[in-house]
Structure 1
Amino acid sequence: MTTLRELYEYREMLFSMVKKDLRTRYRGSFLGFLWTFVNPLLQLIVYSIVFSTIMRMNIYNFAMFLFVALLPWIFFSTSITQSTTIMMANSNLVKKIYFPRIILPISVALTGFMNMIFGFVIVFIALIIFKIQLSASIILLPIVMINELLFVIGLNIVFSALNIFFRDLEHILGIITMAWFYLTPIIFPVTMIPDKYLKLFFLNPMTSIILPYRDILYYGLWPSKKSLLLVFLMSLCFDIFAFIFFDRLQRRFAEEI
């Protein structure tokens, strides 16, 4: 509760860090902030060409099938990767100025979340172009996105703390996320998973986080409300663990950095 109170007291600092990161990410580039929209647009064009002419999948409009799940994955993988180095990148702040250190990994998650929201502008435009109709299930999309944000915040907090004591984590995490990508039904439908391995795939929390995006945006289906609730509770419990874990380790941050 003390950490939550401090986060509320330093909320302006948190929002300022997110704004600064969003403004400076593409500073000096020709297109600037437009890259937030151009990147997902270029990805969509590449996937459309590759999977419609070269690697033909027996899935209708495979580019969109992939894209609506890939964008949330990019938010997830980019955020946890960046969170591992956020403490070292801000070592001067950590050692010299008092503020809730937990703000740093949370700001990474919120910045990535904002980028994903901007990317969804391209997704909705593409859905219109490809004539994929949205259903009333779209009203659950914010819940799906919040579930993912909560899970990412927890992971960011844990990895940002661990990397201070175990500097190889940032390199190991690259391998882990690559394997994690192929263990999540992003480039293939769930129906391709053999029945004997299906339960194992659903032990992966990202499976239950990614699939609702596809249900809502591609299939126009209502995701399982029970599954959404379970993911929310899981993410909330993991966040509580992450806050306690971070609080225990942060006392040694200054001397380790």
Structure 2
Amino acid sequence: MNTLKELYAYREMIFSLVRRDLNGRYKGSALGFLWTFINPLLQLGVYTMVFSVIMRSGIEDYYLFLFVALIPWIFFNTSLSGGASCIWSQKEMVKKIYFPREVLPIAFVTSQFVNMLLSFLVIFAVLVLSGKGLNPIALLYLPIIMIVEYILSLSVALISSAITVYLRDVEYILGIVTMAWQFLTPVMYSVDMVPEKFRTIFNLNPMTPIIVAYRDILYYKKAPEIETLAHAWFLGLALLLIGLVTFSKLKRHFAEEL
């Protein structure tokens, strides 16, 4: 509770860091903030060409099937791999100024979350223009699953950022971990393709129910199953607890290690 009170007291600092990250992301580029929309559109173009023309899959409108899961995955992936360095990159501030150290991973993940929300404008536009359309009832569940993914992404950022302060190699190891994690998450394939004997282990992946829920809402245009939402919430909150405890124990000696 003390940590929550402190974070609330430093909310302006969090907002300031988020604004700085969003404003500085494309600073100096000719198109600036438009890259937020151009990047997912370029990816969509590549996937459309590869999976609709060259590598034909048995899934109808596979490029949409992939696209609605890829944007959420990019958010999680960036929160994990990029979040690992969010404490280290601000080491001078950590050593000289007192503030709740949780502010840094929270600000980083929040800026990535805002970027994902903007990318969802592209997803909505593509779904409408492609004729796939949107189900307004199913969309009511979208904020719920977004909050779950935010909690999960913040959890992994808390863990990775805290450990990286003590072990710099973690930042590089995560490059391999996230690549393997993506292939173990149903981003590029359907859950039905996973052999039954591996389903139990497969479902321990906290991103599995999140991707399934996004795809249910946006691709299949139906409300996600309650079991899927409950599964996602349970894994998200469990990992958040682990993240908070880990960060709380390791943050005490950040200044000395940096």
- Sort the TM-score into its range (normalised by shorter chain): over 0.9
The structural deviation recorded for 1:165 is 0.9
2:55 alignment counterpart: 55
Contact 2:106 2:154 in 1 (8 A): yes
| Runs of 5+ consecutive residues of structure 1 not aligned to the other structure | none
Q: 1:69-116 CA deviation, whole Å, 9 max, x = no partner? A: 000000000111111111111010000001111111111110111010
Percent of paired sites with the same residue: 48
The structural deviation recorded for 1:244 is 2.3
2:177 alignment counterpart: 176
The structural deviation recorded for 1:127 is 0.2
1:195 alignment counterpart: 196
Contact 2:155 2:240 in 1 (8 A): yes
Alpha-carbon distance in 1 for matches of 2:124, 2:60? 17
Matched position secondary structure for 2:141: helix
Q: 1:2-26 CA deviation, whole Å, 9 max, x = no partner? A: 1111100000100110011000000
1:205 alignment counterpart: 206
Partner AA of 2:23 in structure 1: R
Correspondence list, 1:33-112, <5 A: 33-112=33-112
2:158 alignment counterpart: 157
The structural deviation recorded for 1:60 is 0.7
Matched position secondary structure for 1:35: helix
Contact 2:95 2:255 in 1 (8 A): yes
Contact 2:128 2:134 in 1 (8 A): no
**Residues matched between the structures, number:** 257
The structural deviation recorded for 1:236 is 2.2
Partner AA of 2:182 in structure 1: F
Partner AA of 1:61 in structure 2: D
Partner AA of 1:88 in structure 2: W
Q: Structure 1 residues 151-160 or 196-205, which shifts more?
A: 196-205
Alpha-carbon distance in 2 for matches of 1:198, 1:250? 37
Q: Structure 1 residues 189-198 or 57-66, which shifts more?
A: 189-198
1:248 alignment counterpart: 249
Matched position secondary structure for 2:235: helix
Matched position secondary structure for 2:140: helix
TM-score (normalizing by structure 1): 0.97
Q: 1:137-173 CA deviation, whole Å, 9 max, x = no partner? A: 1110000100000011111011100001111101111
Residue 100 of structure 2 is aligned to residue 114 of structure 1? no
The structure-2 alpha-carbon separation of the partners of 1:113 and 1:221, relative to structure 1 and needing over 3 Å to count, comes to same
The structural deviation recorded for 1:230 is 3.2
The structural deviation recorded for 1:227 is 2.4
The structural deviation recorded for 1:207 is 0.5
Give the RMSD, CA atoms, in angstroms: 1.0
Alpha-carbon distance in 2 for matches of 1:226, 1:200? 17
The structural deviation recorded for 1:203 is 1.3
1:217 alignment counterpart: 218
Moved over 4 A (4+): none
TM-score (normalizing by structure 2): 0.97
